[in-house]
């Protein structure tokens, strides 16, 4: 469609310019563009402030304002990181720019031969796994929702698969996820976005409010007793990153409505804990609590 090309042409022109800049300059530009986004998307600013107000009622409006500015700044940096994702120089940049904590947990989990689910969220440089894990030598499939513009989607798929990982379409990914785990691969899943009730979502607590969440990850991990590791990549002020992985754990093997709900709540709590490590680095502009009465206040 013509509309797709009208969207793609300015995008690829901007991406080309960004890729020509030195990394530090590009990231600084991204942060400025992120702050500019506050002026262009006032509704998103309101959503972020409202989400923070509900999650942290003790914070003042001034404190929330500072956090929202940081959220938008990081969003801008994140876009730059994604556009330049294929520009890391292998192990040299891995050692230079990334501090890895907990790699031993992945080695231990994969020894079990069941694969491993990397539980993640839209925290910090969440796309880093597409570079970090293949460069460390671990095969990985990352579950992602296709973008509406297929031309832009194709660009970002190339970025994500550049280092040897692969993308699993979230709309029809259950079979591919299972196959990847059978092959003893890592599977990265971001489980912190709103899931429509029509897709069998369940309500679990998230920062003190019920949020509709996919139960599929819990069901898969429970049925096949797949080890799970919480994995987050945080930005640091010096444009480097801290990748933090938890010890692996299993979910209750006894499957019932109650245990699926409890397991989904547990996974959601793991993500909440990851966000609390640096609350400014989560995607607070997302309407995570859709269809809840509290979300309308």
pLDDT digits over 240-279, tens only? 999 999 999 999 999 999 999 999 999 999 999 999 999 9
pLDDT at 296: 47
Q: Which residues of the chain have pLDDT under 50?
A: 294-296
Q: What pLDDT shows up at residue 293?
A: 59
Task: Give the per-residue pLDDT at 170.
Answer: 85
Q: Dihedral sign, CA of 26, 29, 33, 34?
A: positive
pLDDT at res. 91: 95
Per DSSP, 209 falls in state E
How far is Cα 171 from Cα 51, in angstroms, rounded to an integer?
27
> What residues does 205 pair with on adjacent strands?
210
User: What's the pLDDT score for residue 295?
Assistant: 47
Query: How many domains, in total, are found in the chain?
Result: 1
Domain housing 104: 2-296
């Amino acid at each position: 469609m013509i509309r797709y090309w009208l969207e793609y042409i300015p995008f690829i022109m901007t991406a080309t310019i960004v890729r020509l800049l030195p990394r530090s300059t590009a990231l600084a530009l991204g942060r400025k563009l992120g702050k500019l986004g506050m002026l262009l998307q006032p509704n998103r600013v309101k959503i972020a402030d409202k989400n923070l107000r509900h999650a942290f009622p003790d914070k003042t409006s001034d404190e929330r304002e500072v956090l929202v500015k940081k959220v938008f700044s990081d969003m801008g940096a994140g876009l730059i990181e994604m556009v330049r994702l294929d520009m890391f120089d292998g192990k040299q940049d891995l050692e230079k720019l990334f501090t890895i904590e907990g790699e031993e947990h992945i080695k231990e989990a994969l020894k079990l031969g069941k694969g491993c689910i990397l539980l993640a969220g839209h925290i910090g440089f969440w796309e880093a796994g597409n570079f970090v894990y293949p460069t460390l030598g671990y095969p990985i499939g990352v579950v992602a929702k296709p973008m509406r513009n297929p031309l832009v989607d194709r660009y970002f798929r190339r970025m994500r698969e550049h280092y040897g990982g692969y993308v699993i379409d979230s709309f029809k990914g259950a079979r591919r996820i299972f196959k990847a785990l059978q092959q003893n691969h890592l599977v990265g899943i971001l489980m912190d976005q709103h899931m429509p009730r029509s897709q069998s979502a369940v309500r679990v607590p998230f920062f003190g409010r019920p949020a509709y969440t996919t139960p599929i990850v819990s069901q898969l991990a429970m049925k096949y007793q797949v080890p799970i590791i919480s994995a987050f990549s945080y930005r640091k002020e010096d444009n480097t990153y801290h990748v933090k992985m938890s010890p692996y754990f299993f979910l209750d093997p006894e499957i019932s409505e109650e245990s699926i709900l409890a397991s989904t709540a547990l996974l959601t709590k793991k993500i909440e804990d990851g966000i609390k490590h640096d609350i400014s680095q989560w995607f607070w502009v997302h309407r995570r609590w859709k269809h809840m009465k509290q979300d309308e206040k």
